Amino acid sequence: MKVLLAIPRYRFIWPCAERWLVEALTEITQAGHQVGYVPGDDLAGLYYDEALQAGCELAVQDGFDVFLTCDQDQYLSGSDTARLVTDCIAGDWAMLAAPYVCRGRADPSWMQPEEGHEATTEDLTLMRSALTDGIPLECRGFVGSGTAAVNVKHLADMERPWWFRASPGLFGEDVWFCRRAREAGKRIGVHFGLRSAEHWGARVYQASAMLDRVAQLLDQKLAAVG
């Protein structure tokens, strides 16, 4: 398998993302995969949608199987990163993402099966099972792409641009990608087994603690519906 790593950035890279890069390169190489890396300077100054689009275009051009991206202020352990890559291909996901940790809350799409629709009891039960088993869960809304693996073969069926920030403050490039994927009949998911995910910034948020809170919330919702 050929894996292309990238850290899309607008200004600078946090030490946590640099640590991710070293660990990811080590673990994926030790797993026997071929690894490429888009130098940070090649993506410097580009907005996230431009950087991600450029990275995916390069992955297609050079015959990579997976495009692996980590935001400049995020971290995922090397072992979890290797698992993300393997499970993305094994599950035939268009994109499989680590739990997105932002402002101490879960990605809101985890609580609804589709944009604008409330989650059913079945949806909540499936989500609770995925949390318990530490496995990927299909999201019919969208997932944050803070740390994510893109299955490059699926890009051929998706309309360009794959990444685009339509309007500042409205929705981001990851929402755009998920919509493009769904339009092409592709599956996107979040991997609840990758508990090492972290988001750095003014405060540090960890996926492990956040996922525990999500589990408690799901238990309360399921108890309320009997």
Higher pLDDT, residue 44 or 134: 134
Residue 161: cis peptide before it, omega within 30 degrees of 0: yes
DSSP-derived secondary structure letter, 66 = E
Model confidence over 82-128: pLDDT tens digits?
999 999 999 999 999 998 755 545 544 554 455 566 778 888 898 89
Bigger pLDDT: 106 vs 132: 132
- The backbone region for 68, taken as left when phi is positive above 0, alpha when psi lies in -120 to 50, beta otherwise, is beta
> 151-165 pLDDT, tens per residue?
999 999 999 999 998
Domain count, the chain: 1
Q: Which amino acid is at 4?
A: L
Among 116-120, 146-150, 196-200, the least confident range: 116-120
Q: What is the pTM assigned to this prediction?
A: 0.92
Boundaries of domain holding 186:
2-224
Question: Does residue 191 have a pLDDT over 80?
Answer: yes
Say how many C-beta atoms besides its own lie within 10 A of residue 102's C-beta: 16
Q: Find, among 42, 123, 36, 124, the residue nearest to 85 by Cα.
A: 36
The CATH number that applies at residue 208 is: 3.90.550.40
